[in-house]
Structure 1
Amino acid sequence: HSGLFGNMNVNKLGLSLTLGTAEGRDVLLDLIKWCDVLTESFSPRAMRAWGMDYDSLKQIKPELIMLSTCLLGQEGPLSRVAGFGTMGAAIGGYIALAGNPGGSPIGPYSAYTDYLSPRFALPTILAALDHRDRTGEGLYIDQAQAESSLHFMSTALLDYHVNGRVPQLVGNADPDMAPHGCYAASGDDDWVAIAARDDGDWANLCSAMGMAELINDDRFADLAARRTNEDELNGIVATWTSEHGAVEIEYMLQAFGVPAHAVANSSAAADDPQMRHRGHFIAMEHPEHGTTTFEAAKGQMTETPPSYRSVAPSIGRDNDLVLRDILGYDDERIAELAIADALT
């Protein structure tokens, strides 16, 4: 029933097994014999306890590719620490970087590393498939989500390793751009994001605000000066934005070549004209929730456009289809599984 689950699992089949039963594990073993890739995200002890760790499974299927992804990996002194993306963001340093000066760290939106780690898992699986196709050998991928996410902390990590500096909370400020922030517009809780990438953007922003005299003001003459006087600079920009609507500012500044966009809440994002043009949101009929909106595929391929056949599976929806059509089970075998409580 989760909206997040529904959004991420359109077109997928679902088989619901009770892996605490021997019969349920037998079904999973049959699926493993059928599949190319097995992915799992249990805590490190779970698959081993069921006798389904990679060393055991490769005896059954030597060409199997298996990915285990968890918070901190399968081995090491902290490998048994359980958690999800919010903990990964804390371990990876993301939460310590997000927040306003003098305030508390607030971290990025949602369970951040849950969204980062699949970007590394997928190409690794593709490389493993290529290896298998060339050699006939399977392999095991041990992914620690917190570790994968460190790639996107590279600037902060390098600054520490090379210069010994630990980044501090800076709000919306950027070391290479000023002004750079989110400013209140005239509407009720309306905001606009503005970024001046260089002196040219700053000059264009001044012109758009009707304050051309600031272009040659020594306080804001270059990036270093603007960063030194950033509080005063932000005050000037904020005073101007408070007199205009967020969308008005967006169009005005973009016409001057200055990066700017009204801050969209969920309602505005769902009704964004560019997203509508690209067909990003699709409506499908859900048997339990009625007409429901989901995100479409994230890329548009000209020769093989995506199709949307079914909403995400509810628990047990596709049990019969998977057991009969994929695994070839007959009525008697399926009934035995039901009697053994192997299906949910």
Structure 2
Amino acid sequence: MSSAAPRPLAGIRVADLTMMWAGPYAAKLMADYGADVIKIEGPRAWDNIRTLFPPDDLTDQWFNSGAYFHEYSRNKRGLSLDLSQPRGRELFGRLVAKCDVLIQNYRADVMDKLGLSEAWLRELRPDLVIVGMAGFGKTGPEASSLGYGPIIEQMSGLVSLSGYGDGIPFKTGISYGDPIAGIAAAGAAVTGLIRRERTGQGVTVDLGQREVATTLMGEAFALWSMNQRLQDHVGNRHEWMAPHNAYPCLGEDHWVAIAVGSDAQWRGLVEAMGRPGWALDEAYADQASRWEHRDALDERVSAWTSARSKQEVFAACRATGVPCGPVWKCTELVADEHLNARGFYEPISDPDHASWMVHGWVWRWTDSGPCILAPAPNFGQHTREILTGLLDVDPAELRALAQAEIIADAPIDPPAVTIV
């Protein structure tokens, strides 16, 4: 990898033991910002996210083709190493001694079962920053439970806030708990490095993914904690603002969100709609009245939006100072003029397929240049480079390691997998 401008985490080496989304997202952020992230997978215990969303023209390299994996493991190096075998664990220990950060999202008891306890890691590298991001943290009655993103989202309380008043909650369209935990874990790793720089001591981070998601309950939790009131299900509406909803537009499944929170914004919406006579009715004269008559108001606004494209509604509202946003789909996001003008998307590819677009920098600085310097590693792509270059393993031992299936260039005896 090379870049014109030094990246803030250049010189930091990370041992990445994570799988699926939350952990790889955290390590991906560190890799994007300059860390040498080494993604470690066992020949028989590998990251199943490799199989998600492969290209239509799937090849025998299916384990290197998942779009999900390529987006969240770019800029990393790949090492295959069987940590269940003594020699694999010994080599891993030598690698840890040369790392600044170790990040893992196993269940709380897994590291100890693998023989990779905190005490053992500290013997190898006393000032190591260890980031554990189990679903429910390292302690407590649920510590040994599995914590996948959809479960975290439900148990965080966030899903209890969604719905349309019929009692049925709605989860988000993604496993929301995963990326939120990933962002927090990357931040925790960096703050651990800052603490190490100041004190010379390592630190162990105990991050519970459920707790991270629960902190996003916001005013709903404050409402209960202070006043013992539960927030109602209001769908796309608001507890005192109106009109406040997602409104249909021309075309199939096209919508625009409008949120009027003041009399000035209401006057702006009236202007955008062409000052229709009904909008001058006393029923809509102030915010309280508009909220009281929100059903009729939503019907009126919907009649206006449904005769126009969401782009037209957005332009009209923006011109008069009304908070408004089109509900974009993926096809529209990729073509978005603003995001493309900012260089948000960058091409990525693997050796067997054409390139496609993924997000680049999550945040940037003025001379950052392109974010993606290397695609996600093929399975075990950098194993020999890392073992010989960092750990002084000679060619004869490499052959012995491969024969013992401690290292491999492809998954060994892969289980049946679901390829989405």
- Could you tell me the TM-score, scaled by structure 1's length? 0.94
Match for 2:352 among 270, 288, 301? 288
Partner in structure 2 of residue 120 of structure 1: 184
Q: Within the alignment, does 1:33 sit opposite 2:92 as a pair?
A: no
Instruction: Give the distance between the partners of 1:318 and 1:157, measured in 2 at CA.
Output: 47
Instruction: Give the distance between the partners of 1:27 and 1:132, measured in 2 at CA.
Output: 25
Match for 2:237 among 165, 173, 177? 173
Match for 1:318 among 382, 403, 412? 382
Instruction: Give the distance between the partners of 1:119 and 1:307, measured in 2 at CA.
Output: 17
Report the 3-state secondary structure (helix = DSSP H, G, I; strand = E; otherwise coil) of the residue aligned with 1:286.
coil
Name the amino acid aligned to 1:131.
R
**Deviates further, 305-314 or 24-33:** 305-314
Question: Matches of residues 99-248 of structure 1 in structure 2 within 5 Å?
Answer: 99-102=163-166, 104-211=168-275, 213-214=277-278, 216-248=280-312
Question: Retained in 1: the 8 A contact 2:135–2:152?
Answer: yes
Structure 1 residue runs of 5 or longer lacking an equivalent are: none
Partner in structure 2 of residue 297 of structure 1: 361
Report the 3-state secondary structure (helix = DSSP H, G, I; strand = E; otherwise coil) of the residue aligned with 1:66.
strand
Report the 3-state secondary structure (helix = DSSP H, G, I; strand = E; otherwise coil) of the residue aligned with 1:15.
strand
Partner in structure 1 of residue 112 of structure 2: 48
Instruction: Give the distance between the partners of 2:390 and 2:357, measured in 1 at CA.
Output: 30
Q: Deviations over 1:2-51 (max 9, x none)?
A: 21221122211111222222222222211110000100011112100112
Name the amino acid aligned to 2:184.
F
Partner in structure 2 of residue 9 of structure 1: 73
- The Cα shift of 1:69 comes to 0.3
Q: Within the alignment, does 1:309 sit opposite 2:365 as a pair?
A: no
- The Cα shift of 1:86 comes to 1.0
Instruction: Give the distance between the partners of 1:19 and 1:3, measured in 2 at CA.
Output: 27
Question: Retained in 2: the 8 A contact 1:187–1:246?
Answer: no
Instruction: Give the distance between the partners of 2:358 and 2:271, measured in 1 at CA.
Output: 42
Report the 3-state secondary structure (helix = DSSP H, G, I; strand = E; otherwise coil) of the residue aligned with 2:192.
helix
- Could you tell me the TM-score, scaled by structure 2's length? 0.78
Name the amino acid aligned to 1:199.
D
Report the 3-state secondary structure (helix = DSSP H, G, I; strand = E; otherwise coil) of the residue aligned with 2:349.
strand
Change (3 A) 1:309 1:155: same
Question: Retained in 1: the 8 A contact 2:240–2:288?
Answer: no
Partner in structure 1 of residue 336 of structure 2: 272
Report the 3-state secondary structure (helix = DSSP H, G, I; strand = E; otherwise coil) of the residue aligned with 2:82.
coil
**Deviates further, 107-116 or 67-76:** 107-116
Which ranges of 4 or more aligned residues in structure 1 deviate by more than 4 Å? Answer: 212-216
Partner in structure 2 of residue 64 of structure 1: 128
Question: Retained in 2: the 8 A contact 1:97–1:107?
Answer: no
Change (3 A) 1:24 1:222: farther
Match for 1:82 among 146, 151, 165? 146
Question: Retained in 2: the 8 A contact 1:44–1:79?
Answer: yes
Task: Give me the identity figure in percent.
Answer: 29
**Deviates further, 288-297 or 210-219:** 210-219
Partner in structure 2 of residue 341 of structure 1: 405
- The Cα shift of 1:267 comes to 0.4
Change (3 A) 1:304 1:263: closer
**Residues paired across the two proteins, number:** 344
Question: Retained in 1: the 8 A contact 2:158–2:216?
Answer: no
RMSD: 1.7
Instruction: Give the distance between the partners of 2:178 and 2:372, measured in 1 at CA.
Output: 24
- The Cα shift of 1:307 comes to 4.7
Change (3 A) 1:77 1:285: closer
Q: Deviations over 1:101-147 (max 9, x none)?
A: 21521112311111112332233222221221222211111100010
Question: Retained in 1: the 8 A contact 2:131–2:188?
Answer: no
Name the amino acid aligned to 2:76.
K
Match for 2:318 among 254, 272, 276? 254
Name the amino acid aligned to 1:229.
H
**Deviates further, 1-10 or 232-241:** 1-10
Instruction: Give the distance between the partners of 1:60 and 1:176, measured in 2 at CA.
Output: 58
Question: Retained in 1: the 8 A contact 2:269–2:322?
Answer: yes
Match for 1:95 among 155, 159, 175? 159
Report the 3-state secondary structure (helix = DSSP H, G, I; strand = E; otherwise coil) of the residue aligned with 1:44.
coil
Name the amino acid aligned to 1:33.
A
Instruction: Give the distance between the partners of 1:173 and 1:328, measured in 2 at CA.
Output: 62
Question: Retained in 2: the 8 A contact 1:180–1:194?
Answer: yes
Q: Within the alignment, does 1:73 sit opposite 2:137 as a pair?
A: yes
**Deviates further, 164-173 or 207-216:** 207-216
